[in-house]
Amino acid sequence: MSEVSLVIWGASGHALVVADIVRLVGQYRVVGFLDDVNTNRRNTEFCGAPILGGREQLPRLAELGVTHLLFGFGNCGTRLELSSLVRQHGLSLATAIHPRATVAVDVSVGPGTVIAAGAVINPGAIIGENVIVNTSAGIDHECVVEDGAHVCPGARLAGCVTVGRGAWIGIGAVVIDHVKVGAGAFVGAGAVVTHDVPERVLVCGIPAKVVREIEP
């Protein structure tokens, strides 16, 4: 087991997935979890490690020998917001790529990014920081997925798609080639996106159409 210690921020479903990937790869040792939502869970066990507390624990993680952190929740904006706080406390963002994901050799993957089982990322793609490429998602050649975006399970991006900062591609959605999904936009589950999506809107349907704007 690795002696490089890591904490996962989050203690629910997605954190289970992140912890499993980390343990399968064996590069880090999961020493605990942070949970800001359910403060009464402090010092209880979750997924084989203790819940240490919430963000108030960040200053003491170095005392525990922790050097790295991964986010274990799906909210795009919150991952982006908290990444600077994590770094201010001297922690590095780890990267977790499931051993049964397929990632082309030239793909750039930023720190904090999690790539789940069955995902395929083809040549020339650029994956930013704190991105989630979830279970069995497909990202084809020369796509750009910017910081904090979430490509949900089973979603498909054709070639040369750009997914903007903090955008969300819903489960089973399809985005055709050369389309740009704007920053902070949400693509609904099962949608088929055939045209560019503006920033901070929700699109749904086949073909996908704007349903409403998303408040900052």
Strand order in the sheet with 150-151: 96-97, 114-115, 132-133, 150-151, 168-169, 186-187, 201-204, 209-213
What's 199's domain CATH number? 2.160.10.10
Question: Do 175 and 102 fall into the same domain?
Answer: yes
**Nearest alpha carbon to residue 187 among 149, 141, 147:** 149
How many other CB atoms are found less than 10 A from the CB of residue 132?
30
**Domain-ending residue, one of 94, 111, 146:** 94
Question: Do 145 and 59 fall into the same domain?
Answer: no
Question: Do 49 and 123 fall into the same domain?
Answer: no
Question: Do 111 and 182 fall into the same domain?
Answer: yes
Question: Do 101 and 35 fall into the same domain?
Answer: no
Range of the domain at 170: 97-209
**Domain-ending residue, one of 49, 71, 94:** 94
Indicate whether 175 belongs to any domain: yes
Number of structural domains in the chain: 2
Q: Are 90 and 62 in contact (CB under 8 A)?
A: yes
Question: Do 60 and 90 fall into the same domain?
Answer: yes
**Domain-ending residue, one of 94, 126, 146:** 94
Question: Do 77 and 103 fall into the same domain?
Answer: no
Indicate whether 215 belongs to any domain: no
Per-residue pLDDT of the chain (216 residues; tens, 9 = 90+): 567 999 999 999 999 999 999 999 999 999 999 999 888 889 899 999 999 999 999 999 988 899 999 999 999 999 999 999 999 999 999 999 999 999 999 999 999 999 999 999 999 999 999 999 999 999 999 999 999 999 999 999 999 999 999 999 999 999 999 999 999 999 999 999 999 999 999 999 999 999 999 987
Indicate whether 214 belongs to any domain: no
Question: Do 29 and 79 fall into the same domain?
Answer: yes
Indicate whether 167 belongs to any domain: yes
Indicate whether 173 belongs to any domain: yes
User: What's the CA gap between 117 and 212, in Å, rounded?
Assistant: 33
Q: Give the global pTM.
A: 0.95
User: What's the CA gap between 117 and 176, in Å, rounded?
Assistant: 23
Question: Do 65 and 124 fall into the same domain?
Answer: no
Q: Which residue has the tokens 């399809």?
A: 174
C-alpha dist (Å) from residue 116 to 5, 102, 153 = 21, 10, 9
Question: Do 76 and 114 fall into the same domain?
Answer: no
